[in-house]
Structure 1
Amino acid sequence: MQFDRLLSFGTKRVSTRVAGVLLAVGLVVLAIGQDGPAKANAPQSPGQTNAAIDEAVSLGISFLKNRGQSADGSFSPESGVAVTGLCVRAILENRPTEVDSPAVKKALQVILDNVQPDGGIYVKGSRHRNYETSVAVGALVAANRDDRFDSQLKRAEAFLKEIQWDEGEGLTPADPAYGGAGYGSHSRPDLSNTSFMIDALRDLGNDANDEAIKKALIFVSRSQNLAGHGNDLPHAASEGDGGFYYTPAAGGETKVVGGDTRDGGGGLRSYGSITYAGFKSLIHAGLTESDPRVIAAMNFIQDHYSLTENPGMGQAGLYYYYHTFAKALGAAKLRVLTDADGNNHVWNRELVVTLTDAQQDDGSWVNRSSDRWMEGNRNLVTAYSLLALSYCRE
């Protein structure tokens, strides 16, 4: 799916702005020099970009292996297997040859030791079964040399589809919770968990024709501030900015900080990280650049371009934002964005600078401004950062 063909988008505002993007795609170095507030230290070539990534990755992986990992092989076991799975995936996305290293093998064994009789991969008693299983699937897929984990992955796939909110929970497609995934089978669904589930199903080889992904698209569309294209809820048209909010289920919720979470018309306000999660989910569900949902999401993304904050959230969830930002734009195969002021941004090169500037002396990353959603945890934030960097390679 080539989003560098965004000029085909239907609205005049998008077409006008993206004309500059298309020029910048072809003249990426020229765009950095002429189009305003690109990072001053941004790499100027693929070789420089990848060299900067390699240096940061080496330091980050060294931190995880030498300081972040517990003696039993886990990373931050208070998260169940979630952070362990993210760390394994982060290492292997950047260094596939580490698959048989002692650190990765020990971490993988922790994951395997938590495969449950129902096929899920989570610690006993966990309330985050979808999240843990989805992340563990990503780690096992990345490490699945010679099909060694096929059995566990097949069972995990069946588990994720079983706990998706659908007819099995007595719902119809008219229910706002339909198609989504929550932390577990008894936790109301949200877009973050749904996007993790979609990622896992895609990692497992499911495409847009898979029934679970089709159902998930219904939930994702209801989470977007866009009326008439899947969001049939009462306040769908109120915000109307094309961004996404946390969940339409159980009366709806957004995580926006500061001010009212609902606009004057009752709509839930959009924010950055969840919009990238929604945008990525639209792509994985097979929508093309001509779909109004994709057009609207791209409008929000370009209007709220930022690498200094998680739009609508400030510093909260900043590294989760960087991760979803990079993964979504990487999935869209788009390297240049035009912001609300008409400035072109070669996002991957700017993100490389942002992350290398924020890396700590010990090779880790941590959110010093907000520990919401565990972002005071160096293992988690280092995994997010390494994953983000893996999508920045040229």
Structure 2
Amino acid sequence: MVRRFMAAMVCAVVSGTMLVPAHVSGADTANKAYEPMVNRAIEFLTTKAQDADGAYNAKAGPAITALVTAALLRHGRSPADPQIAKSLKYLESFVRADGGIHAAETSHKNYETAISLVAFGLANKDGKYDTILKAGEKYMKSLQWGATDGKAPSDVEYGGAGYGKNKRPDLSNTSFFIDALKATGNGESDEAMKRALIFVSRCQNLETPNNTTPFAAKKPDGGFYYTPAAGGSSQAGVDEETGALRSYASMTYAGLKSMIYAGVAKDDQRVVAAQKWLAKNYDLQSNPGMGTSGLYYYYHTMAKTLDALGQDKFVDEKGVAHDWRQEIIETLAAKQQPDGSWVNENNRWMEGDSAIVTGYALLALSYCKAK
């Protein structure tokens, strides 16, 4: 016990955050809002947002349906439930002969396939989707920069995933790619995971042996941005003083989560620096660096990352210990619409669509349940 306590204290000192033993929970069970909130959201999705064929926002292809289905499955709905079964059948209609799971003319092949694989993985309780998962995994890996296209580890695109092979890889797509690798049983020793970690490391504002891009040393605050490829880009813009690609919270959580899934140790300087940036920018009213743009994507990614870290309390830069699970529950309870949905008044990245936003909210809440 003493050794464990001392190890936790050392980690807290090194990282700037405090790891709290798992038995000290956010205790969502004590929050009477949690179950009614989740139930209202599920009722909205399954009775008001779902089309007759099981789709959610069919014009957007399979990705939103897959995301919502994954959220419902994570909240205990069975693959045999009529609404879930319809959605899974709808997703099956997008399965291609080469293993891809996407609309015919889409430029979002990695994105759609990755999210669909997560949904099928959660539904695969009896091996029903083994063939789809195996073929989809192989297809998705073939899209990765550096897998079959001759890219070398020295190329900035190496290891990344993007919306299409004729475009640049980016951290958001690579994060979904890593989620799908994990969902199909790939761990840190998988070659695709190792390649992905190389790209993820290059999306961080931190110069290390893993990141020698021109952007790394301009403003080494430890946060993450969208992509170093094709000249580099951050959705948060460029720092006028240094020329750095600005860090922002949703990508910093995505980068940190991806590193954890890829097996990077919690005392690694990349992980430590990312946590320090997040401690400085802890916020539940905005996506720091982006305002309200992508706010619900942010909530989902934040909750998933903090759960992966195993931290029940997150200590911010000022030393305030946040019960992040309880705070996310309370924040989402206050934002839920009377019909059970959530929607972002800022429509950027489709967050004006109540189906995808409610899916993000439910996914976030699924990581807020007491362990």
TM-score (norm 2): 0.94
Which deviates the most, 87-96 or 205-214?
Answer: 87-96
Alignment partner of 1:393 is 2:369: yes
Change (3 A) 1:202 1:5: farther
> How far apart in 2 are the matches of 1:3 and 1:119?
48
The residue matched to 2:314 in structure 1 has which SS? Answer: strand
1:282 and 1:6 mapped to 2: Cα distance?
20
Residue 357 (structure 1) aligned to one of 328, 334, 356: 334
Question: Which residue of 2 is the match for residue 200 of structure 1?
Answer: 180
Retained in 1: the 8 A contact 2:28–2:329?
Answer: no
Counterpart contact for 1:165–1:179, Cα < 8 Å? yes
- Aligned counterparts of 1:26 and 1:383: Cα–Cα separation in 2: 27
Q: Is the 8 A contact 1:119 1:159 kept in 2?
A: yes
- Partner Cα distance (2:126, 2:189) in 1: 27
CA contact (8 A) 2:28 2:368 kept: no
TM-superposed deviation, 1:317: 0.3
Matched, 1:216 2:205: no
Are 1:377 and 2:358 an aligned pair? no
1:53 to 22, 34, 51: 34
Correspondence for 1:302: 279
Distance 1:179 1:159, change over 3 A: same
> How far has the Cα of 1:5 moved from its partner?
5.5
Q: Secondary structure of the equivalent of 1:100? A: coil
Match of 1:253 among 233, 236, 244: 233
Amino acid at match of 1:273: S
Matches within 5 A, 1:1-394: 7-9=9-11, 14=14, 17-18=16-17, 21-22=18-19, 45-49=27-31, 51-96=32-77, 98-256=78-236, 261-368=238-345, 370-394=346-370
CA-atom RMSD in angstroms: 2.0
- Asked if 1 retains the 8 angstrom alpha-carbon contact of 2:188 and 2:261, the reply is yes
Instruction: Judge conservation of contact 2:141–2:147 (CA < 8 Å) in 1.
Output: no
**Post-superposition offset of 1:228:** 1.6
Shift of 1:8: 3.1
CA deviations on 1:151-182 (whole Å, 9 max, x unpaired) are 01100000111010005222111111000000
Contact persistence 2:28–2:325 (CA under 8 A):
no
Contact 2:188 2:262 in 1 (8 A): yes
Give 1:263 shift: 4.6
Letter matched to residue 8 of structure 1: V
- For 1:316, the aligned partner's letter is S
Q: Alpha-carbon deviations, 1:119-157, whole Å to 9, x = none?
A: 100011111010000000011011112100000110000
What letter corresponds to residue 172 of structure 1 in structure 2? A
CA drift at 1:187: 2.2
Q: CA deviation at 1:267?
A: 1.7
Aligned equivalents of 1:102, 1:362: Cα separation in 2: 21
Matched-pair contact (CA < 8 Å) for 2:108–2:164: yes
- In structure 2, relative to structure 1, the CA distance for the partners of 1:367 and 1:5 (3 Å cut) is farther
User: Which residue identity is paired with 1:124?
Assistant: A
Q: How many residues align?
A: 367
> 1:53: how far off?
2.3
Kept after mapping to 2: 8 A contact 1:3/1:289: no
Amino acid at match of 1:81: P
Distance 1:272 1:47, change over 3 A: same
Q: Is the 8 A contact 2:28 2:34 kept in 1?
A: no
Q: Which runs of 5+ in 1 are unaligned?
A: 30-43
Q: 1:71 offset after TM fit, Å?
A: 1.5
Q: Is the 8 A contact 1:262 1:269 kept in 2?
A: yes
Q: Which runs of 5+ in 2 are unaligned?
A: none
CA distance in 2, matches of 1:112, 1:26: 38
Which amino acid in structure 1 is aligned with residue 369 of structure 2?
R
Q: Distance in 2 between matches of 1:60 and 1:3?
A: 40
Deviations 1:335-360 (A, max 9, x none): 11111222111101000000011111
Shift of 1:290: 1.4
- Decide which structure has greater helix share: 1
Distance 1:329 1:221, change over 3 A: same
CA 392–296 in structure 1, closer or farther in 2 if over 3 Å, else same = same
Aligned-partner Cα distance in 2 for 1:244–1:94: 30
Runs of 4+ in 1 over 4 A off after TM superposition: 2-6, 24-29
Separation of aligned partners in 2, 1:313 and 1:45:
30
For residues 344 and 361 of structure 2, the distance between their equivalents in structure 1, rounded to whole angstroms, comes to: 11
